[in-house]
Structure 1
């Protein structure tokens, strides 16, 4: 013990925080990739909703066909903000589908209830219905070889309170991993399967016919965004079952740590819906969480998903 003029140096008792958790402290909040040239938006107004993720777009009527310059500027906003919000659009299903098609072919999902057509998913929740596909952080359909590029969600009916949706920036989640964790996951691959995400809501006889259609697939644990080059965590609670090449105990422990990263508030944006609002998100770069806190009140949403590429 070193003495000073003021007396002996203080000694603290031994205390240790359990490992593999989320710790307090300053976080790296980098919205754009390194070297990305930020430019002003010329065709609409952008109101940021959080530090790295989420922007409300005004001055755009999504019911009208997009001109090529408008489509390109919206795409740049999507890459820079990861989820875009449009208020009071009140699109028909056909208009919603037409808007989404500006980014590629539409995806169908036979595991979910269809709306006006097979590529429109309808979520109709009210008292007495099974509370499905809510209260869990996830990235959509990572059990596919080519998970969705993005999704366009519209709220048709909104409860008087609650029913918000949250998104998390998985590039920020990766940026803030300890280096020793990055070293373990940078070249790792993980298995994704539809069964864990749906078995919470559907009986085995409902899921069994889809096992051949959706066999387990492997994706990188850390994905590189094809347009921005950002490194992003690409595992999620609903569909990622194990890390390839690890024993079960080691894989479970590491996945628990990675799953927790979506829960950090600094990486998140939360959106309070009104009828006719649209959210358009980059499914490659985000996770999302539908909050089921509205009890027996009704909430009706329709979603259109855009087919994606193979993660690399």
Structure 2
């Protein structure tokens, strides 16, 4: 099987080949040679990068719209199940590693339409290695290099999620009643990600599920009058707190690009499907442009709480070996579930993160400027 379960004794993270960690943290041990994905453990290079520059994104889903059968890539599927009416499809019998260019385009369109797709038994893809991961991701857009996270040595375009019994390089939530942080990945970028691929190389024997929510169906639950008002708004998304978390010595302690803040529409329109989606998230959205502080905080709290609580718009993914999850980051939000800490087991995941277009406002002509900066 492609995915394995690691206990405290079988895999511990090293930082740039050393066992040093932040003061007061337990020192992780050298990874044991039996771990088949040791070459994909987090590495925290000191490389720095210039600011991202705009690029012209060509969405592959557009090409699939012209296909005679835009769902032809599912022709060999042995099982296709809609996880919920609003979000998510689970597929068995389709080998992602064998999809050709047209089938990848069709996949992009289907993920845009369903928001989330779960592919089981993808061992060939997972074992293909980092060069294959990059080739796959580049089909869907320019690959994003995360400004603070760990990556496999030599492959900065691959974002890693890692937690073992003594180390973590994500946000600590032990002092919170709800250890979930709903977010759309790096929404603070001028061109945030679109079609995103994620899989686990190691997972706890139970727990560590991932929650997803449809920002399309969430938006539909609001009254027409309130939706119309939200379309007139834009909000600041900020990477400053994430960078400061690393600068404090955590998450590997590196900041490869200076943090940015960008203004995006509160309601965005998907460029392929035309669907409108709520585009705020608790982790990165900081304020609504042009409103007074109390007004902005009240509206954002309403929106964040709705995202947190609206189970009818959510899907929960239970991981099993060989699972690959793909989502459209433009129309969904997600959160890991940190419920496996007592097991002392490891969760080690890889995210392939192509960027997409700058968010398109649902309200034509909406100005995306920050008049409070």
TM exceeding 0.5: yes
**2:247–2:255 contact (8 Å) kept in structure 1:** no
CA displacement 1:225-272 (0-9 Å, x = unmatched): 111111111010011110000011110000011112222111111111
**2:212–2:316 contact (8 Å) kept in structure 1:** yes
- The TM-score, its normalising length taken from structure 1, stands at 0.81
Larger radius of gyration: 1
Which secondary structure state, in structure 2, belongs to the residue aligned with residue 306 of structure 1? coil
Residue 81 (structure 2) pairs with residue 47 (structure 1):
yes
- The TM-score, its normalising length taken from structure 2, stands at 0.68
Q: How does 1:180-259 map to 2 (within 5 A)?
A: 180-197=225-242, 199=244, 201-204=245-248, 213-259=258-304
Call closer, same or farther: CA 1:211–1:300 in 2, change over 3 Å.
Answer: closer
Residue 355 of structure 2 corresponds to which residue in structure 1?
A: 307
Q: How does 1:149-160 map to 2 (within 5 A)?
A: 149-160=194-205
Please identify runs of 4+ aligned residues in structure 1 that moved more than 6 A.
205-209
**2:70–2:109 contact (8 Å) kept in structure 1:** no
**1:62–1:99 contact (8 Å) kept in structure 2:** no
Call closer, same or farther: CA 1:130–1:67 in 2, change over 3 Å.
Answer: closer
Residue 346 of structure 2 corresponds to which residue in structure 1?
A: 298
How far off is 1:202 after superposition? Answer: 3.3
More strand by share: 1
How far off is 1:102 after superposition? Answer: 2.0
Residue 161 (structure 2) pairs with residue 113 (structure 1):
no
**2:235–2:288 contact (8 Å) kept in structure 1:** yes
- For the aligned residue pairs, the C-alpha RMSD in angstroms reads 2.6
How far off is 1:107 after superposition? Answer: 1.1
**1:163–1:299 contact (8 Å) kept in structure 2:** yes
Which secondary structure state, in structure 2, belongs to the residue aligned with residue 202 of structure 1? helix
**2:88–2:115 contact (8 Å) kept in structure 1:** yes
Q: How does 1:266-277 map to 2 (within 5 A)?
A: 266-277=312-323
Residue 171 (structure 2) pairs with residue 126 (structure 1):
no
Which secondary structure state, in structure 2, belongs to the residue aligned with residue 57 of structure 1? strand
Which secondary structure state, in structure 1, belongs to the residue aligned with residue 333 of structure 2? strand
**Unpaired runs of 5+ in structure 2?**
1-64, 172-178, 361-373
**Unpaired runs of 5+ in structure 1?**
1-35
CA displacement 1:52-78 (0-9 Å, x = unmatched): 1111122322223x3233123212211
CA displacement 1:24-82 (0-9 Å, x = unmatched): xxxxxxxxxxxx9xx78333232211111111122322223x32331232122112211
